[in-house]
Structure 1
C-alpha cells in the first residue's frame, strides 16, 4: 500500500513541465484570444499577413495547399484514426481509450468552440474552396495537432519517436499554413487550433497515464 501511495503522490518534473507548457500556457493564450474575439475586437496584423501570403500565390502552390488541406481534414484523418483505434483495441484497451478520447474528443471540442465563437471567415480574395462553418478555431489545425500529438505520445518510448515528432510537427504545420494560404482562416484561428488540439491530447494523457501507473503499482503490491 505504501508503494501505491508513493506512486500517487510522486510528481515528476517532466509532468509539471508538460502541465505548464503543454496545457496551461496554451489554454491561457487561447482564452485571451477568444475573449478578445467575443468582445468584438480584431487583430490588425491578420489581414495584412494573409494578403502578404496571398501575394506569393502560384498555380503550383495552389495545388499543394489544396492537397494539404484535403489530407489534413476530417475526411482523411477520421478514417485513418478509426484504423489506428481498431489496431490499438486489439493491442490493449487502455491505448484505444486514450486514442479515442484524444482524437475524437478534439473533434468534438472543435465543434463546440465553433458554435460558441461564431467567427466569420476572411473574405479577402476569391477563394479556391468555400467553407460555411465558423472560422475559430481552425478544425484542420486542431484535428492535425491532436492526431500528431497522440501519435507522438504513443511512439515516445519507441525508436520511432523522433521521426514521429519531426514529421508530425511538419505535417500539422503545413496543414495550418495551407489553410492560411487558401484564405479560409485567420492566423489566430490556426494558432489556437494547434494549441487547443495539442493541449487537449496532453490533458487526456495526463489524466489517463497516472491512473494506469496507479493500477500497475497496485497489482505489483498485491503480488508481493
Structure 2
C-alpha cells in the first residue's frame, strides 16, 4: 500500500503548471499540424502558399542582396550543421554534469530526424518546382523548420529553465522562425510545409520533455523505494 501511495503522489506531483502548459502546447501543435494537412491534402488549397510566396517574392525583388544572407541563415538547420551540433552540445552538457539535459538534446534530435522522414514518406508531397536552391527529398513537413524548432527550442528551454538565462530564449526561438522563413523565401518549401514543420517540431519536443521528465521521476521514486527497503 505504501508503494502504491508513493507512486500516486509522484504522479500527482507531475501535474504542475509546466505540465499543464506542455499539454496545451501539445494539443495546439497537433491541431495546427492536422489542420494544415487537411488544407493541403483534403481541400487541396494553395491560397496560403501563394499568399506567402507573393510576400517573400516582393522582398526578393525589392532587395536582391538578401539572397546571400538568406542562404547563409538556412544552413543553420541543415544536417551538415545540425549533426555535429547535436553531438557537440550534448557532449558539453555531459562534461558539465548536466546528464538529463544532454539526453534531452540527443533524443530530441535523433527522434526528430526519424519522425520528419517518416512524415515526409506518409504525406509524399513533392517540393516546389521553382526552387531557388538545389534540394532533394519530399516537402511536407519542412525538415529545416521542424529541426530548427527542436534544436533551438530545446536550447531556449534549457537556457530559461535550467541555466537561468531566460533572455536567451526569445532570440533562439526567433532564429528558428527565421530559418523557417528562409525556406519559403528560397521556394524550397511551401509555407504550409514550414508551418507544419514548426507544429511537428513543437509536438515532438513536448513529448520528449514529458517522456524524459516521467522517466527521471520514476527513476527517483525507485531509488527512494530502494533506500526505504534497505532501511
> TM-score category by the smaller chain?
0.7 to 0.9
Contact 1:103 1:150 in 2 (8 A): no
Deviation by residue 1:95-145 (Cα, 9 ceiling, x = unmatched):
333222111111111111111112122235xx4312221111111111110
- Tell me whether 1:204 sits opposite 2:208 in the alignment: yes
Contact 2:7 2:221 in 1 (8 A): yes
Question: RMSD of the alignment, in Å?
Answer: 2.1
- Give the equivalent residue in structure 1 for 2:59: 56
Query: Which range is displaced more, 127-136 or 84-93?
Result: 84-93
- Give the equivalent residue in structure 2 for 1:190: 194
2:133 aligned residue (126, 129, 132): 129
- Give the equivalent residue in structure 2 for 1:14: 18
Structure 2 unaligned segments of length 5 or more: list them. none
Residue 93 of structure 1: how far off its partner (Å): 4.5
1:150 aligned residue (154, 163, 186): 154
Q: Secondary structure at the match of 2:91?
A: helix
Alignment of 1:1-224 (within 5 A): 1=3, 2-10=5-13, 11-20=15-24, 22-39=25-42, 41-57=44-60, 58-90=63-95, 91=97, 93-124=99-130, 127-155=131-159, 156-163=161-168, 165-220=169-224, 222-223=226-227
TM-score, normalization: structure 2? Answer: 0.85
TM-score, normalization: structure 1? Answer: 0.88
Q: How has the CA–CA distance of structure 1 residues 63 and 133 changed in structure 2, closer, same or farther, with 3 Å as cutoff?
A: same
